[in-house]
Structure 1
Amino acid sequence: MKIIIFGGTGFIGLNLAEVLLARDHDVTLYDCAPLPPAAQRSLPNYRERLKVVQGDITDAEGIEGLIAGGYDAIVLGAAITAGEELERASTARVLEINVMAQIPILLAAIRHRVRRVVNLSSASAYGASGTRFDVLDEETPCDPVSFYAVSKFTSERSVARHAELFGGDFLSVRLSAVFGPWERPGAVRDTPSLQFQILAAFARGEPAILPDAGVKDWTYAPDAAEAVAKLIEAERPRHRIYNISSGTAWSALQWGEAFAALHRGLQCRLAAPGEKTEIKLHGGDRAPMSVARMADEFGWRARLGCAESAAAMSAWWMQHKETI
């Protein structure tokens, strides 16, 4: 398949690109940022099937010309992942990029007969419902609160309505607490995972001191990418929205301890009373997401839990410390 990933040189985009290239697809990464040097070194074997296009997600004319070149699938992954600081500073921009910029892409996909569009949404779409239910499945009512959450939920409804109006084969996925390779904060992402912050402390030669254990249904990025790849390749998905999560809650503290145990001299612990830490929590507690729909329909479940993902990330970290 020929697949274009908008937001392709970002965190999720690069993980998805690696998975799709390994599955013999041709991949175009569209992003305002260039391919990071470390990724250029990691992907040399795929040069003939990997294309990088730098451009603005709001350049409707340029994107129209690109899609007209013929694609089988589009992944809508360009987004401003905003915490409260970025939300205050760029409220209109969050909605512009996360919702409005998708509309010309969806219409171009319809005009040029793109077979499948997958919109990368977020568990944040559940919003306040995350504290009212024990488990969140795709039928759980959403009650988004932050502008980021509102934008992701709105993007889901926009994608679904375009499909209803024009007959497009469009779907959305809600990603839960993703961490792993290629994660990096930036101007459009100010909510790094606890795992990223733990590794950043280790890279500085400091202990990773957490303000809280950080219990979530953490999901290793390559596992999430495998799930998205299955949805891209699926002949006829039965639903228009899917949860992607490890399905099991465990703590970032536990993960950091498992990672530290693999490297002499590293330490991950909770802050003592009154002790300051640079590591920040992003987002409140919520129930874990059910992955029964992905498991029942596609046989997918996350392969790497806490200890397994710590070991996998350790191997990756040893090769890419300079990216943290």
Structure 2
Amino acid sequence: MSLLITGGTGFAMSVVAREWLEREPGARAVILDRAALDAAARAWFEPVRERLTVVEGDVREPAGWADELDRHEISAIVHGATVTPISRGSAEEEARVHPEALMPAKIVDVNLMGTVQLLEWARQRARVRRFVYVSSGSVYRHHGPDWSREPLPEDGYVAPLTLYGISKFAAEMVVNRYADLFGLSALSVRLSSIYGPMDRATESRNFRHVPHRVAQMALDGETIRPNSLAPVGDYLHSVDAAHAILALVDAQRPRYRHYNVASGVAVSIGDIIGWAAEKVPQLRYEVSHADHANVVQDPQLATGMWGAYDISRIERDTSWRPRAGREAFHDYMDWLAAGRL
């Protein structure tokens, strides 16, 4: 039994691949990615490397990988290969040209047409029993639910504004249509803000969510200078995200086409700094003007894609549950600290 993970040499998908191999001693994983294993990925996969195959190829160009994948008994697919052109978190980053403006056609081509090419391959392989598309909370609008601060459900608030979000939502719809046309068991997961092990700069992603930034600065002894302690986010540890995705790979009868994968809780920058201070009592922070801050978030963005996500669907259809935010964040800080010894 082999699981195919596209984008598996990067951040979150590398965690999915390793978690799959660690929990399934007799299974194999196949990664399809344009990028080879870098030093961090080689170290990450070292305990399970003998059961991992890496196929270097562009998901948009099946001539370069279709025959190789056919040599493996692929039974399920987690499609996470994507271009993530996000830059937010400091005054310097805010002043730059939006990264979408640097490669608009590539974003749409990789995120949408790359998905189409993989679906074309999958629909002709009867052995493939599940296709999980890794989407994003970027498909949601910036505000909602309108009537309260309740967690954001999967239905009713989809209104992407960026090329990234538009391409991810378009790919979700294509996945749904292929499922209907060809009898694929396919679904999409919408990730909230993911942080954790293997978060590093890669060719397709170079962005750090608040928990990563705070943890790194705390361990470095750097003064944390947020523009406000109030901004919130639904932050999920990458290992918890991997467990959720794999739970949906295994789900016997998933009842929905779209699932939020998140912590289900919005936590503030102030909360995260407080958790960091429990690990690093000498931590220093000072609220600063955005021009001088090293963590910049908009306090007005507190609902919609920026707030808590409703996770009741995945909780109904699987046994997966996220860890408490404080526990997961401390686990990440411990992992970072161990790597510095």
TM over 0.5: yes
Separation (CA, whole Å) in 1 of partners of 2:154 and 2:290? 40
The Cα shift of 1:193 comes to 0.6
Residues 141, 264 of structure 1: CA spacing in aligned structure 2 closer, same or farther, 3 A cutoff? closer
The answer for the alignment partner of 2:86 in structure 1 is 83
Residues 270, 5 of structure 1: CA spacing in aligned structure 2 closer, same or farther, 3 A cutoff? farther
2:138 maps to 1:124: yes
Q: Please identify runs of 4+ aligned residues in structure 1 that moved more than 6 A.
A: none
Separation (CA, whole Å) in 2 of partners of 1:288 and 1:54? 36
Separation (CA, whole Å) in 2 of partners of 1:59 and 1:318? 40
The Cα shift of 1:161 comes to 0.8
Structure 2 residue matching 1:172: 3-state secondary structure: strand
Q: Which string of whole-angstrom CA distances, capped at 9 and with x for unpartnered residues, describes residues 103-148 of structure 1?
A: 1110100111211110000111112454636332122241111111
Select 1:29's aligned residue among 17, 28, 31: 31
The answer for the alignment partner of 1:7 in structure 2 is 7
Q: Which string of whole-angstrom CA distances, capped at 9 and with x for unpartnered residues, describes residues 252-288 of structure 1?
A: 3322331233135333x35234760233448943232
Q: Which string of whole-angstrom CA distances, capped at 9 and with x for unpartnered residues, describes residues 194-252 of structure 1?
A: 12222343465422222233311211111111010011112221221111111111123
Q: TM-score, normalised by structure 1?
A: 0.91
Query: Do the aligned residues in 1 keep the contact of 2:211 with 2:235 (CA within 8 Å)?
Result: no
Residues 87, 317 of structure 1: CA spacing in aligned structure 2 closer, same or farther, 3 A cutoff? same
The answer for the alignment partner of 1:212 in structure 2 is 228
The answer for the alignment partner of 2:109 in structure 1 is 96
Separation (CA, whole Å) in 1 of partners of 2:11 and 2:198? 5
Separation (CA, whole Å) in 2 of partners of 1:128 and 1:314? 30
Query: Do the aligned residues in 2 keep the contact of 1:129 with 1:142 (CA within 8 Å)?
Result: no
Q: Which string of whole-angstrom CA distances, capped at 9 and with x for unpartnered residues, describes residues 56-94 of structure 1?
A: 222221232233223001111011112262111111111
Structure 2 residue matching 1:73: 3-state secondary structure: strand
Separation (CA, whole Å) in 2 of partners of 1:32 and 1:208? 35
Residues 106, 199 of structure 1: CA spacing in aligned structure 2 closer, same or farther, 3 A cutoff? same
Query: Do the aligned residues in 1 keep the contact of 2:7 with 2:13 (CA within 8 Å)?
Result: yes
Aligned counterparts, 1:244-259, within 5 A: 244-259=261-276
The answer for the alignment partner of 1:228 in structure 2 is 245
Query: Do the aligned residues in 2 keep the contact of 1:179 with 1:193 (CA within 8 Å)?
Result: yes
Separation (CA, whole Å) in 2 of partners of 1:136 and 1:310? 22
Query: Do the aligned residues in 1 keep the contact of 2:112 with 2:167 (CA within 8 Å)?
Result: yes
Structure 2 residue matching 1:43: 3-state secondary structure: helix
Residues 296, 272 of structure 1: CA spacing in aligned structure 2 closer, same or farther, 3 A cutoff? same
Instruction: Say which structure, 1 or 2, has more relative contact order (CA 8 Å, 6+ apart).
Output: 2
The answer for the alignment partner of 1:39 in structure 2 is 41
Structure 2 residue matching 1:242: 3-state secondary structure: strand
Residues 130, 187 of structure 1: CA spacing in aligned structure 2 closer, same or farther, 3 A cutoff? farther
The answer for the alignment partner of 1:110 in structure 2 is 123
Residues 264, 150 of structure 1: CA spacing in aligned structure 2 closer, same or farther, 3 A cutoff? same
The answer for the alignment partner of 2:334 in structure 1 is 315
2:317 maps to 1:300: no
Separation (CA, whole Å) in 2 of partners of 1:270 and 1:143? 35
